Structure 1
Amino acid sequence: MKTTKNMSAILQNYAMGEWTPGSGQESQVLDAVTGELICTAYSGGLDFNAMMQYARSKGNPALRKMTFQERGLMLKALALHLMSKKDDFYKLSYRTGATRADSWVDIEGGIGNLFAYASLRRKFPDKPFYVEDEPIGLSKGGTFMGHHILVPKEGVAVHINAYNFPVWGMLEKIAVNLLAGMPAIVKPAPITAFLTEAVVREIISSGILPEGSLQLVTGTGEGILDHVTYQDVVTFTGSAATGRKLKAHPRLIEESVPFTMEADSLNSAVLGEDAVPGTPEFDLFIKEIRKEITSKAGQKCTAIRRAIVPENLVEDVQIALGRELSKTTIGNPLTEGVRMGALVGREQLQKLRNQISELAKQTPIIYGDLEKVDLLGADPEKGAFISPIVMLNQDPFRCTDTHEVEAFGPVATIMPYKTLDEAIELTKKGKGSLVSSIATADPKIAQDFTLGAATHHGRILVLNNECAKESTGHGSPMPMLIHGGPGRAGGGEEMGGIRGVKHFMQRVAIQGSPSMITAVTEVYQKGAKQVEYDKHPFQRYFEELEIGETYTTHNHTVTEADIVNFANVSGDHFYAHVDATSLEGTLFEGRVAHGYYILSKAAGMFVHPKKGPVLLNYGLEEARFTKPVYPGATIGVKLTCKEKISQEKRSEEDVAKGIVKWLVDVTDETGETVAIATIMTMVKKKDQA
């Protein structure tokens, strides 16, 4: 059998560090364009319990020990490696029926997720765990407090993916669990798993991931959930019907296993009443519908299935959309000029035809043909090709099949609305979707639609001429935003930046004294024990500094001259600082010092003037002015090392360094805090001395 590079004649699994073909029922995987045999697949033959134990005993401990910075750099290295191999993946992707543009979303979009989560490491500490949100005081005297931390779960992430994005579907999920510190077992749909296998082969051969971090199941995966535990996480992407079956698996219920479902949904796009023909928003709406119908031949969980338009514009939309779709050339993705490829296989083609025929009983086809399609470079009898199909539902509140049956292919239905409230109600009839969009230039329409529809959608795109050039479009989930939705869409979420990483970690509330919480979190908590050295902390290198290390400054008595001089230097002549006659009825007893003067003076008091390891002031955060400071008040500062975050070197010539966060606590003569802030300095490491 002739095979393509990076793919075997028999579809392989990667289990417990070895490639194996599996056993059981044999099936043939065919080219979606030519109908030729690609490879042979087997349904099972894997010991899922052993695979999970392998992931928990090998991959999990190795990843858990790594810091977020190390995991992020690992993802970056993996992304760079896969980008160098992308041409091999494109060659295989064409055999799934995908065009170059379709494959770009799948392949480079998937690798882009690795890059995005590699960059997200900068939002996390240089630790294996994450300290979440703010500390919580639990006592009047300040000796008892609480905090939340997150640690990687001790299990494995099991990802069950759909056939439409064999690369993106895997990479967008493992990017998140690997950054969180969990290994994964990936089970793509067998029909396109040959492309997933090729990518996994490159991942494994690169040696970038620790042993046991990634395993692959290319068969049906029957029984894969029988051995999961409460420390594992299961994610599913695919049909709502299959998702419901998996969600009800007894093992998931018995072990309380976290389960995230992202299901195909009846997504909608609304044309605003202001977006009439001739406006940019009307044209954008038509182009977006056309793109979502033809991209991946409509095989996208986020594709627009329902186009909801003002009733007086239905004919205009029908004509404009037909004109756009008529420009779409269909056929072999390798043929010059082809803009839409094939469905993933002829079995899917037949299923789609049956669904469209069922829908056509209530909603007639107004564009396209179920049986006839003009092709370039392809044979309609061998490939899984179909024409784009547009249907019309003139009575969408009575003819409800449109809101119930999803034809998973290049299919969309136009339906009218009378008022925006009616349009919102129609979007909700899909019973929950991954995404809805509205094309409008009217801010009020945008707000009313978004707030009215938000309960039923995971994401809402407001499309107008201002964002059109840079908009990623209706159908593109973004790594730093959640991907998921309520109801039919599965009720879960994935990606979402830091939010997504937390799905693979265990949150635990810790309680104790400030000193003990400081010791656990490696972040200084106010009220914890402090230590002072003779040497100024700004003269100590990154490695030498200790959490809780404190420097107490000399005192300074604030004068009216200080206030006047700062007002002149800063240009801040707010009445409370400069006009004592205007204070009646205010909170102030007299002229008050500028809050920024207090912080500026504090900096002058704690900064060491001589050259040392501190390279620069990196920023200021969490600044608060907690008590007015009047002339005659005496202030002092305690500067405490709060947290240390190591930074990687960007090049061989770069200076080894880290970011140090300092708690700046400014008090008056009564000992009360008048201002508090966190400053950040960039500090050289000792090996650069």
Structure 2
Amino acid sequence: MTSTLSQILRPASYVYGTWHANPDGQTLVDAVYGRPVAVISSEGVDFAQALAYGRGVGGPAIRRLTFHARARALKALGTYLLERKEDYYALNLLTGATRRDGWVDIEGGIGTLLSYASMARRELPDERFLPDGKVERLGKGGTFVARHLLVPREGVAVQINAYNFPVWGMLEKLAPAFIAGMPSLVKPAPQTAYLTERVVRDIIASGLLPEGSLQLVTGEPGDLLDHLEEQDLVAFTGSAATAQKLKVHPTIVARNVGFNTEADSLNASVLGLTVRPGDPEFALFVREVAREMTGKAGQKCTAIRRAIVPRGRVEEVVAALRQELSKVTLGDPARDDVRMGALVSTEQRERVQRTLDALKAETSVVIGGEARDLLGGSRERGAFLDPTLLLCESPLTARGPHELEAFGPVATLLPYGTLEEAAQLARMGRGSLAGSIVTHDRAEATELVLGMASTHGRLLVLNRENAGENTGHGSPLPQLKHGGPGRAGGGEELGGLAGVRHHMNKVAVQADPTTLAAITREYVPGAEVREDVVHPFRKSFDEIGVGDSLLTHRRTVTEADIVNFAGLTGDHFYAHVDEIGAREGLFGKRVAHGYFLISAAAGQFVSPAPGPVLANYGLENLRFVEPVGIGDTIRTRLTCKRKIRKDLRPGETRPTGVVEWHAEITNQRDELVATYDILTLVERARDGADA
């Protein structure tokens, strides 16, 4: 098998509901043999119409869905794409990437879809908007309150992606945008656009996303940015220089269009002062640097460009890296015996070579410089470049290693003397997406983390404890921020739900409690409640309504209650059982255990007979406000705060939902003594979505 095609591909754009192809355009060649593989063009695409289509067709269709419905669509799409992954792996080889490199791009991208689907169902309400933060009480009487809401922007998320991750780069932006309720217009880099287009074809063919949710432009962007409006967003991944030009586009500036940048950066990995060559951490550092130099042929925005090592360990690190890099075979990535493929194009190879030549003004080559034998592929027409390690003897005064990025299999060793120097060298990159610290010394790790944190978006502390589970220096994760300050662009992607919130507008809503509860569909303390002769615990999930409430009977707390609870739990804290100590303590008297109050409240509001309430699912936001002493009388108001429908999991047959109840315990003077939220698992009726 070789990484070639039987016919030239003609990837099309998908805009305003149709596939738009052009027989003429830019010819792309494969990175391994230099043979023509595709012709791309966006000639004839009406970019104003494409944006209007996204705003007028895609946006409204997505916003009609709840967060959970969007999540179910993404989950189904992820499963659908996984079934077709071998088609993507075949095209991946043409980009110069090995199958292992492709796994990060292809299955990593699909995994991001599935991660966001799971996060949305787990952490977001089954609504089309997101209440954010707590209710703010604005008046003494409690009749004027406020809360922030997040709603989808009514524009298009324009996503301009880099060539190195044609699948993950698209899907990691599409997932949070879709969950938030925004349609995407994807503009991949030309060099690998044919792989992005293949995935988009399957997404469109699946019919799993509403029409207009996703549009694709495979060629040049033309006047796309000229037609942006205030509700649109732009997310850019690529070089810092290009990002700077796009940020000041007249339309983006005039209309204050949101712009998020994830730019290439001079990421660093620091080997701790305490690490010795025989330590597990030494081997981990060497393997990580070698892997980041050669994975995707060094074409990763998170790759290690600067390896910061103790000055006394330079020779040992060089020797270990020479041995590790000698194992790396170069050639056709379709071959099983090849570990590193080519750069994406000969043009990119020449750019890297020019930067490498500039770096040599302040460094010396300690590994590389000679051409290895290729296992398939062409040195003349392919885009191969051998791994190269440089050494900068005076890193604190040099400029090149901290300013010039060779976006390929190139790294520079920077010696240091103290931990303060190491952190300073890391910061000299002026902002990085990712950094790593390899040490087993916790004090050393702490000093380096705090010294590097201000200029990094993510820091990995790697040692023998997490070696088996860590995902590596250069691996962004859906749950964590992907971005960095300064040179790295100052933007943020992913980060769990932070990536979703970025696509939404935050508005403060001020109203009376009852009106605010009606708007947010969550109970607000002080709002009107509904009391029924039917106990709320006798109602199914479908029958319970937000605002349904129960005010319990009263109970007077006795000394026997306190003594018996102390005996039952073993909690003999002096404030509860020591008359003299309690009198001299904070409250001036013996008081009931806080957890006794919660237990007593449960006895007041629980309906004991079997019914639709299946289990207590959890307790949140507990606060003890006032002490309760012997002779005080308490009662509890339990009110349905919100409802969360749960999808059936594989093997489950009993449909359920989570009901969140707001509990308030008051005393005989109607003073609040404790407040908390209870989650109960409640049976619900089966519907079509469970079939």
SS in 2 for 1:149: strand
- Aligned residue runs from structure 1 range 371-450, under 5 A: 372-450=371-449
Query: Contact 2:3/2:333 (CA < 8 Å) preserved in 1?
Result: no
Aligned to 2:461: 462
Deviations 1:618-660 (A, max 9, x none): 1111111111111111100111010011112225852222111
SS in 2 for 1:658: strand
Between the aligned partners of 1:427 and 1:157, the Cα distance in structure 2 is 33
What letter corresponds to residue 267 of structure 1 in structure 2? N
Q: CA deviation at 1:599?
A: 0.4
- Aligned residue runs from structure 1 range 561-580, under 5 A: 561-580=560-579
Q: How many residues align?
A: 685
Note if 1:62 corresponds to 2:61. Answer: yes
Between the aligned partners of 2:486 and 2:408, the Cα distance in structure 1 is 21
SS in 2 for 1:666: strand
Q: 1:541 to 1:396 in 2, by over 3 A?
A: same
Query: Contact 2:42/2:220 (CA < 8 Å) preserved in 1?
Result: yes
**Farther-moved stretch of structure 1 (213-222 vs 158-167):** 213-222
Aligned to 1:26: 25
Aligned to 1:171: 171
Note if 1:285 corresponds to 2:285. Answer: yes
- Aligned residue runs from structure 1 range 547-626, under 5 A: 547-626=546-625
What letter corresponds to residue 571 of structure 2 in structure 1? D
What letter corresponds to residue 440 of structure 2 in structure 1? A
What letter corresponds to residue 573 of structure 1 in structure 2? H
What letter corresponds to residue 466 of structure 2 in structure 1? C
Q: In angstroms, what is the RMSD of aligned CA positions? A: 1.6
Query: Contact 2:59/2:156 (CA < 8 Å) preserved in 1?
Result: yes
Aligned to 2:132: 132
Between the aligned partners of 1:549 and 1:351, the Cα distance in structure 2 is 67
Query: Contact 1:44/1:221 (CA < 8 Å) preserved in 2?
Result: no
Query: Contact 1:230/1:256 (CA < 8 Å) preserved in 2?
Result: yes
What letter corresponds to residue 429 of structure 1 in structure 2? M
Deviations 1:129-159 (A, max 9, x none): 1011111111111111111010011011000
Query: Contact 2:97/2:296 (CA < 8 Å) preserved in 1?
Result: yes
What letter corresponds to residue 219 of structure 1 in structure 2? G
Query: Contact 2:8/2:37 (CA < 8 Å) preserved in 1?
Result: no
Aligned to 2:362: 362
Aligned to 1:15: 15
Deviations 1:331-370 (A, max 9, x none): 111112111111001111111111111111221111112x
What letter corresponds to residue 498 of structure 1 in structure 2? L
What letter corresponds to residue 93 of structure 1 in structure 2? N
**Farther-moved stretch of structure 1 (31-40 vs 644-653):** 644-653
SS in 1 for 2:648: coil
SS in 1 for 2:100: helix
Query: Contact 1:268/1:427 (CA < 8 Å) preserved in 2?
Result: yes
Aligned to 1:629: 628
Between the aligned partners of 2:282 and 2:686, the Cα distance in structure 1 is 61
Query: Contact 2:617/2:680 (CA < 8 Å) preserved in 1?
Result: yes
- Aligned residue runs from structure 1 range 128-527, under 5 A: 128-369=128-369, 372-527=371-526
SS in 2 for 1:679: strand
Between the aligned partners of 1:671 and 1:200, the Cα distance in structure 2 is 61
Between the aligned partners of 1:620 and 1:6, the Cα distance in structure 2 is 62
Query: Contact 1:543/1:686 (CA < 8 Å) preserved in 2?
Result: yes
Q: CA deviation at 1:22?
A: 4.2
Between the aligned partners of 2:624 and 2:456, the Cα distance in structure 1 is 41
Q: CA deviation at 1:498?
A: 1.0
Between the aligned partners of 1:138 and 1:239, the Cα distance in structure 2 is 47
Q: CA deviation at 1:382?
A: 2.2
Q: CA deviation at 1:45?
A: 2.2
What letter corresponds to residue 621 of structure 1 in structure 2? E
Q: CA deviation at 1:259?
A: 0.3
Q: Where in structure 1 do 4 or more consecutive aligned residues deviate above 6 Å?
A: 2-8
Between the aligned partners of 2:651 and 2:593, the Cα distance in structure 1 is 44
Note if 1:111 corresponds to 2:110. Answer: yes
Query: Contact 1:6/1:198 (CA < 8 Å) preserved in 2?
Result: no
Between the aligned partners of 1:7 and 1:49, the Cα distance in structure 2 is 33
Between the aligned partners of 1:603 and 1:582, the Cα distance in structure 2 is 30
Between the aligned partners of 2:502 and 2:91, the Cα distance in structure 1 is 32
Deviations 1:352-398 (A, max 9, x none): 111111111221111112x6232112221221111100001000122
SS in 2 for 1:551: strand
Query: Contact 2:112/2:175 (CA < 8 Å) preserved in 1?
Result: yes
Between the aligned partners of 1:332 and 1:378, the Cα distance in structure 2 is 5
Between the aligned partners of 1:72 and 1:635, the Cα distance in structure 2 is 43
SS in 1 for 2:425: helix
Query: Contact 1:373/1:385 (CA < 8 Å) preserved in 2?
Result: no
Between the aligned partners of 1:452 and 1:641, the Cα distance in structure 2 is 48
Unaligned 5+ segments in structure 1 are none
Query: Contact 2:583/2:590 (CA < 8 Å) preserved in 1?
Result: no
What letter corresponds to residue 169 of structure 2 in structure 1? G
What letter corresponds to residue 94 of structure 1 in structure 2? L
Q: 1:4 to 1:373 in 2, by over 3 A?
A: closer
Query: Contact 1:48/1:223 (CA < 8 Å) preserved in 2?
Result: yes
SS in 2 for 1:44: coil
Between the aligned partners of 1:6 and 1:647, the Cα distance in structure 2 is 48
SS in 2 for 1:458: strand
Q: CA deviation at 1:485?
A: 0.3
Note if 1:654 corresponds to 2:653. Answer: yes
Query: Contact 2:3/2:332 (CA < 8 Å) preserved in 1?
Result: no
Between the aligned partners of 1:203 and 1:170, the Cα distance in structure 2 is 12
Query: Contact 2:4/2:94 (CA < 8 Å) preserved in 1?
Result: no
Between the aligned partners of 1:548 and 1:246, the Cα distance in structure 2 is 49
SS in 1 for 2:457: coil
Note if 1:685 corresponds to 2:684. Answer: yes
What letter corresponds to residue 53 of structure 1 in structure 2? A
SS in 2 for 1:226: helix
Query: Contact 1:440/1:446 (CA < 8 Å) preserved in 2?
Result: yes
Q: CA deviation at 1:108?
A: 0.3
What letter corresponds to residue 270 of structure 2 in structure 1? V
**Farther-moved stretch of structure 1 (641-650 vs 71-80):** 641-650
Between the aligned partners of 2:613 and 2:41, the Cα distance in structure 1 is 61
Q: CA deviation at 1:75?
A: 0.7
Deviations 1:15-50 (A, max 9, x none): 111111147x72111111111111111253211110
Q: 1:165 to 1:472 in 2, by over 3 A?
A: same
What letter corresponds to residue 76 of structure 2 in structure 1? A
Aligned to 1:665: 664
Between the aligned partners of 1:567 and 1:8, the Cα distance in structure 2 is 80
Query: Contact 1:93/1:103 (CA < 8 Å) preserved in 2?
Result: yes
Q: 1:3 to 1:376 in 2, by over 3 A?
A: closer
Between the aligned partners of 2:548 and 2:41, the Cα distance in structure 1 is 61
**Farther-moved stretch of structure 1 (651-660 vs 309-318):** 651-660
Between the aligned partners of 1:687 and 1:75, the Cα distance in structure 2 is 22
Between the aligned partners of 1:178 and 1:22, the Cα distance in structure 2 is 29
Q: CA deviation at 1:62?
A: 1.2
Deviations 1:88-147 (A, max 9, x none): 100110110001110000000000100110111110001011011111111111111111
Aligned to 2:93: 94
Q: CA deviation at 1:222?
A: 2.4
Aligned to 2:77: 78
Between the aligned partners of 1:388 and 1:651, the Cα distance in structure 2 is 47
What letter corresponds to residue 656 of structure 1 in structure 2? P
Query: Contact 1:7/1:194 (CA < 8 Å) preserved in 2?
Result: no
Deviations 1:254-274 (A, max 9, x none): 111110000000000111101
Q: CA deviation at 1:4?
A: 8.6
